[in-house]
Structure 1
Amino acid sequence: MTDASLTIPIIDSVGDIGARYRAWLVDIWGVMHNGQAAFAQAAAATRAFRESGGVVVLLSNSPRPSPDVQEQLRQFGVPDDAYDATVTSGDLTRHELGKYTGARVFHLGPERDRPIFAGLDVVLAGPEEADLVVCSGLFDDDTETPDDYADMLRTLAARGLPMICANPDHMVERGNRLVYCAGALAAVYETFGGKVVYAGKPHVPVYELALETIAQLSGEAVGRERVLAIGDGVNTDIAGAAALGIDAVFVASALHAPGEGGQALDAPHLNELFAQTVRRPIAAMRGLNW
């Protein structure tokens, strides 16, 4: 366990540290791309690790199933050879929906996330008829905020409908700005007494699925001490890794680091970010680079 009193080193290259591990769990949004374009150095880093014999699983809180996320990665310019597999909140949400055969589901989220329901034995319904809520985000995250959903969420919670949150992130970076995600709506739902199942980081089930994927790719079980998590979310990537006893490298983004590309990242800022963290990241970077 990392001593909370130690200074977190800021490094320019992950090569020396990363090479010690058998597998990497790498966040996508904020590490591999910014929601519009790939970070070329990040793809080069994960490719270099794979070429050295390592396994790279991209672990995302995207509410879309893996095939859709992989196609999006290609569109943004992340090459297929930069990773071995993806595990997403969408994958885990589909697994959770398998427990609700025949249920009437209210989908709270944009139309683009509908592939999450493809082939499943559920019926999409309006909020008044639903037995269950699946929240994948805001209907329009370009213009709306969680405040716009307060009345709806209060009403749904009063009916006692369970919610599956298909993306536990509260905000993500899209280009040069931040937009709200499903996790922000789920947090409001809980304040109204609603019950939420979180299908993604920092919660254990998605990590269990990711570790199973690593074992399949490696042909053997890989101990957690041999896995490195890399991400930009303090409350998702870093917190989730800490809860499982996995070492982590923090990558600065607009989520938590001031200045474009985290350029203002320094020791005092890191100490403030992780002041309450028992297991701190083993290093911090302004961007993933080999």
Structure 2
Amino acid sequence: MDTQTRILEQIAPYQPWLTLGGVLVLFMLLRVTRKALRYRVDEIGYWLLGARGRLIWFWINAPGVMLHELSHAAVVLLFTPFGFRVTSITLFRVRPTVVRDNIGRVMRNGGRQSLQLGEVQYVRPQGRFMSYVGDGLSGIAPLFGGIIMFAFLYWIATGYNLWDIPLDPHTGLRLLRPDWPWWTLIFAPYLILTVTSELWPSRQDWTGARWFMIGLSVLVLLILGLLWYTQHLGQVIALSAFIAARVDFALIVLIAFDIVFLLIAELTVRGLRR
């Protein structure tokens, strides 16, 4: 038995946990690369437009912002039978975020002014269980809307479904499905960048979804405890590791896109510095 085979056998019992942990590690790495890309785009903006240059990043991500707000609105519309009603939708408009105190007065922000890119306002009955559920699902809706759109754009770009890892035993990794048009790579990576940049719910979204998320977390912990008690937890972990492997691959794809855009931005910045 060679050394590589022996190492693989030693790792095998921990493989599901390593795959699950890879989601967290790759997600953190994606945050780092995306933050570095924004820093480079901001620098390009300062060279070209001065103080208004920071707006370039937001205008680049306009399609992602629109999807973010439409995801909020779609969930509100789904909860129309429970008394939810959309009162206004702003898909994209860059403006300073208005911060209010507990009694509704506008507060002055002495630090760096944050910007609001879009907004969905709605009304719903107070104090009902389904109101909290609707608030929670609406708050985290951009996460699901962004994932669905990312999967769709990945298929447009490569011809592969996101859950089909394109590894060929003879030729290795295939970027495009055979006979798939290459010109889809001209626009799809940009749209993937914008969608995933605005995929994560904002702080205000998480605040509105806090009670739903607390209840969901408690429910998940109870289910895991029940599965452990009935000795079915191992099967769930195996299934979770299978799903996590696809998530890991998706995150690797996003990081690869970020690296390509980072190289382009870095070359642009160096050109402007000369």
Superposed pair shares fold, TM > 0.5: no
Larger Rg: 2
What TM-score do you get using the length of structure 1 for normalisation? 0.29
Whichever structure has more strand as a proportion of its residues is 1
Q: TM-score, normalised by structure 2?
A: 0.30
